[in-house]
Structure 1
Amino acid sequence: MEKDNKGKRDVAGLHQGLVEQLVRVGNIRTTAVEAAFRAVPRHIFLPELSAEEVYRDEAIATKFLNGSAISSSSQPAIMAIMLEQLELQPGQRVLEIG
């Protein structure tokens, strides 16, 4: 299994654990959104962080200007809620800019 360089915990396990948490609390309600969350690993977009940091249900600031965050990786729960509300159909795509 894939492991991250900083944390030594199982990246896939952390990823799937976050998805299971989002399902358990009701942020993910449909199989389509669950499949999307399981298919897209968050850590590839945040390579400078440990898997433990990446797979928390938290927004992560990714760019700063004069000490203020100006860009972020959105909180997974918020992404799940937004995707569920969109009621996407097969073939549709989403670009989320955080």
Structure 2
Amino acid sequence: MKTYGKGGTLGRAEYKVKGGKLIRVHLTIENGKIKHIKITGDFFLHPEEVIEDIEQALKGHSLDEDELNHLIENVLKSKQAIPIGVSPRDFARCIMMAGEKNG
């Protein structure tokens, strides 16, 4: 993790899911909580704009893999979204990796 002034701590990670899909996460942590997050990769999500809903839902939450997994599951369910080749746990795992290591 890198710390930059008052802006928080930056982290990023890439996670290759079993089966070949890639998830990338860039995030900023401030006071132990997600301040900003961007999730990209070569996975499929239908409808694809739900990724923005997931990012929004994660803001303000701590880096707790089970909590993140639960939040992502809830967004997918509420939006009737279908992830293809990745799971909520895969997203949560990559977010945790980004929170633990420097970009």
Question: TM class, shorter-chain normalised?
Answer: 0.3 to 0.5
Q: TM-score, normalised by structure 2?
A: 0.33
| Structure number having the greater strand percentage | 2
* Greater Rg by CA: 1
